[in-house]
Amino acid sequence: MTYLFNQPSAFAAELIEGFVAANADKVRQVSGGVVRSTRSQPDTVAVIVGGGSGHYPAFAGLVGQGLAHGAAMGNLFASPSAQQIYNVARAAHNGAGVLLLFGNYAGDVLHFGQACERLRAEGIACEVLAVTDDVSSASHDERMKRRGVAGDLCVFKVAAAAAEAGDDLATVLKKAQHANDRTRTFGVAFSGCTLPGASHPLFEVEKGRMALGLGIHGEPGISETAVPRADELAEIFVDRLLSERPADVTQVAGQRVAVILNGLGSVKYEELFVVYRRIAQLLSAAQLQVVEPDVGEFVTSFNMAGVSLTLMWLDDELETLWRAPANTPAYRKGSVLIAEPLSAAECEEISEETLPQASTASQHSARRVLELLEAVAVMIQRHAGQLGDIDAVAGDGDHGIGMERGVLGAVEKAREVAARGAGAGSLLCRAADAWADKAGGTSGALWGVALTALGTALGDSAAADAPRVAAGVQDAKEGIMHFGKARVGDKTMVDVLVPFSDALSAAVAQGASLTEAWLRAAAVAEQAAQATAQLVPKVGRARPLAEKSVGTPDAGAVSLAMIVNTVGDLLKEHSASEQGA
C-alpha cells in the first residue's frame, strides 16, 4: 500500500514540487514537467523524455547534464498531454530541434505525436521515437508493437550523449533508433502496486507465484509460475534475452553488452545483487563482455514487486555513447563538470494566456457549451464505477477514473474562460487541453482531439448552429481515426463515433434542427455502443485478452454514447423551454 500522501488527486503535482525542491541545482519546474536548470550547449538537439508519473527515476530523475534536457510528466500511470509535452519541449529547446522519446504506449504515442506536429507547425524541427524493448509484449515479427520498459534508459542515454556531442537532429534520431533496435528487456512481477488512496492493488499475482512478462502498468504477462530461487530467475532472464539477440548480431560469443538489472519498486537492492551475481556468471560463460552494468531502480512501477533484465548489444558507437558521462538527480556516470546554472531571469516562465475576441453570439453559445459540459460531468461522475467495471473485463479498469478526471478538468477550465468572455470555439479548445492534461492516457488524448476539432469548427465569430456542429463532429471523427489508428470494427469509441457523425450529418443535410439531428444520431450511437459487445478488440490494451472481452461492450464506446445522449437530453430541454417561452 501507499503510506504517505495528502489528497490522492494532488499526489503527482506535489511529488514534482518536492522533487524540484530537492534537486534545484539540476532541474526546474515548468508547466507540464521539468527541464534542466543548468545551461545547455547552444544550437544542440534537445532530448525530451516522458510518460506517466509513478515510474521514478523515469522520467524526471533522468533530466540533467549528459542525459535528458526535459521530462514531460503525466499523472500516475497516465501519459502527459500534448500541451504538457509541448510546454516542456519549448522550454528546453536549444535551437537545433527536439527529439521526443517515450515508451510505446497508445496514449504516449498519441500525445507525443500531437506535440510533435504542433512544434513543427511553429517551425521547430522535431522527431519522435517510441522505445520497444519488452520482448514479452509482442512477437519478434511484430517487435514494433512491443512496449517500452527499462530499456528506455538505454535509448535515452544514447540519444542524449549524441546530442551533447553536437550531432544534428537526424543523426541523433538515427543513433537512438539503432539503440532501440539493439535493446531487449524481460521482466517478472510478484505482486501489484497500490496507488495513493486506493484500497487494493491495480492487479494481483497469486501468493507464491510469479507473472512472467507482466507490464509495468499491470498489462497481461505471458504465463505464471512458482517463484523460483534467485539463481533460477537469473537463468530465466539470460536464456530469454540471449534467444532474442538482434538480427545483425550473428553470434553471442565475443559480443559486448550494456546490462541493466532493474527493480520495479519493492525488491530491495540486496536482492538485486544476489540475482546479478548469477547473471554475471551466466553472461561470462556465454563469452559476453559486460560494459558498465547498472543494478538498481531505473524504471519502476510505483511499489510493484518485480524485476527486469535489459541487454543492449553494443558496437563501437553505442559503447562510446553508453560510457559518456551523465549527471542527473537519479543517474550518474563518469566524470562530469559542474554545469553553469541558469540565471533567475532565464528561469522565469511566461504563462499569460490571451483569448481571441469573440462575438456576442459565440459567447452565448459558449455559455450553452459550458452547461452541456457540466451536465456531462455530473453524468460521468455518476457512472465512473460502471465504466471502470466494463474496462476491467479486458483492460486495466481505469477508464471511469480517467473520464472523470478529464471532464472535471475541462469544466474547470471552461468556467474560467467563459467568465473571461471566451467564444464557443476558444472555450472548447481550452477545455480540450484541460481534459487531455487531467485524464492522460489514450482516452484523454482522443477526447482532446475531439473537443479541439469541434472547437476549431465552431470558432468565435458566430453562433454554434447545426451545420457547424455537424462539421465539427465530422472533423473530430477524422482526427481521432488519424491519431488513434482505429477503424470501425476494432472495438473502440470509433465504432460509435463514426455512425453518430454520419447520422448527424445526414439529418442536418435533410434540414433537421440541431436538437432533432442530435437526438436521431444519439439513438444510433446507443445501438452502436451495445453492438460492440460482440466485437473482438484489435487495438489497445484489451487486445491481448481479446476473447475475454466478447460479450462486454467497449468502455470507450459506452462512455461516448452516454455523453451524446446526455447532451441530447439537455438540448431537448433547451428547445422545449424556448418553445414554451
Residues designated as active site: 217
Q: Cα 253 to the chain's mean position, in Å?
A: 38
* DSSP one-letter code for 551: T
DSSP string, 406-451: HHHHHHHHHHHHHHTT--HHHHHHHHHHHHHHHH-HHHHHHHHHHH
Cell of 82: 500534448
**What does the buried/exposed string (b/e) look like for 115-140 if buried means 16 or more CB atoms within 10 Å of the residue's CB?**
bbebbeeeebbbbbbbbbbbbbbbee
Query: What's the CA dihedral at 150, 151, 155, 156 to 10 degrees?
Result: 0
Tell me the CA distances in angstroms from 382 to 229, 385, 386, 401, 568, one per residue in order. Answer: 47, 8, 9, 11, 18
> Could you write out the three-class secondary structure of 248-307?
CCCCCCCCEEEEEEEECECCCHHHHHHHHHHHHHHHHHCCCEECCCEEECCCCCCCEEEE
Cell of 384: 465512473
Inter-residue contact 458 to 365 (CB < 8 Å):
yes
Q: Indicate if the alpha-carbon torsion angle 233, 236, 237, 238 is positive or negative.
A: positive
Q: How far apart are the first and last CA of the chain?
A: 57
Residue 514: is it exposed, middle or buried by C-beta count within 10 angstroms (0-12/13-18/19+)? buried
Task: Locate the DSSP E strands across 328-424.
Answer: 332-333
Which residues on adjacent β-strands are paired with residue 310? 185, 260
* CA–CA dist 581, 565 (Å, integer): 24
Residue 208: is it exposed, middle or buried by C-beta count within 10 angstroms (0-12/13-18/19+)? exposed
Query: What's the CA dihedral at 156, 8, 82, 332 to 10 degrees?
Result: -20
Inter-residue contact 57 to 298 (CB < 8 Å):
yes
Task: Locate the DSSP E strands across 524-576.
Answer: none
* CA–CA dist 110, 152 (Å, integer): 18
Beta strands 70-76 and 33-36, pairing class: antiparallel
Residues 6+ apart with CB under 8 A from 258: 154, 290, 291, 292, 293, 294, 310, 311, 312, 314, 318, 319, 322
Cell of 10: 494532488
